Amino acid sequence: MTSLRAHAAAGDLLTGFAVVPSLLRDDAAYTNVVREQANLIVAENAMKWAALRPSATRYDFDDADMLLNFAEQGRMKMRGHNLLWHRGIPQWFTAMATPANAKQLLQAHIETVVGRYAGRMHSWDVVNEAIQISDGRPDGLRSSPWLRLVGDDYIEVAFRSARRADPQALLTYNEYGIEAENAQDEAKRQAVLLLLRRMRARHVPIDAVGVQSHISAGTKYGDGLLRFIRGVRELDLQVFVTEMDVNDRSLAPAIAARDATVAQTYKDYLDLVLSEPAVTVIVLWGVSDRDTWLNHEDSRQDRVPERPLLFDDRFRPKQDFYAVRDAFDQRHPVHPSLNG
């Protein structure tokens, strides 16, 4: 009753982790934390194109099937991540895709993958990270392989294909770099809102926006992000925090001080976003510090392992855990039986 999932449920929130199938199979401590703490999971990598499509003619659903069965057995919901991204594209696709066949390849992939799990998924990240202001387009779209091969309606094609395959799952546009109080993130927020308004005007089926929330310890987040979330809510869309972690790369290496700053950043950020009723999902991008992606990509210059997640490398809850749980409670007072 003191778990994240219990405190989240008391506030009508879903919460959980990005998970790795091999760890769920082989690591009992990892598996126990996920079972105890999450009411929602998402595949960290197992449902991306490169994982599902070893060749043009073969799908490999073993890991994805395992994750969904694990979720259902544990009375959890599951998010799908992701159906379209400029990264993680298989080599065979790069070799064979042309402007003449790319749209059909995209539609077939989405309809096959989403159709396999129709009626069982909470939501899908249909399109991931489609905005890149520095590419210089007036609409803000990234100059991705999808844009070049399919055309500037590729996002609409993806969402309509997903809705045909599953009328029930919530369809999400997922984006990073829209959280901070600076000109770069503000420009990206405005471009995302422009994209969403265009989609709404064309009756493209979309239900939610994912704010990834890979954020930095000690950074203050505020009005710009709140305005964005309110803008999304005004379009009658939900907001999911989809990939939250707090990197500590700018902090001195002392563990106690790092942990305190990371925990406070979690609390301040979640207090901010959970003040908005449109926010209904909080997902942590990983379970323990042992397995965080942050130690492999854009890691600390001093090579000290980062401590960005709620559990340490021995799966003991850290200050972050209690900070996140307190933020859940702050939004909606919990039932007395959950205090402890």
Q: Is 270 helix (H, G, I), strand (E, B) or coil?
A: helix
Give 208's contacts (C-beta < 8 A, 6+ positions apart).
123, 170, 171, 172, 173, 237, 238, 239, 240, 281
Q: Which of 156, 175, 179, 243 is catalytic?
A: 243
- 243 given a catalytic annotation: yes
Q: Which residues of 224-260 are buried (b: 16+ CB within 10 A; e: fewer)?
A: bbeebbebbbeeebbbbbbbbbbbbeebeeeeeebbb
Q: Is 156 a catalytic residue?
A: no
Q: For 91-179, where are the E strands, in sequence order?
A: 123-128, 170-175
| Catalytic residue (choose from 44, 129, 175, 179) | 129
Q: Locate 198 and state its tokens.
A: 């265009």
Query: Of the candidates 62, 59, 52, which has an alpha carbon nearest to the alpha carbon of residue 22?
Result: 62
Catalytic site positions? 129, 243
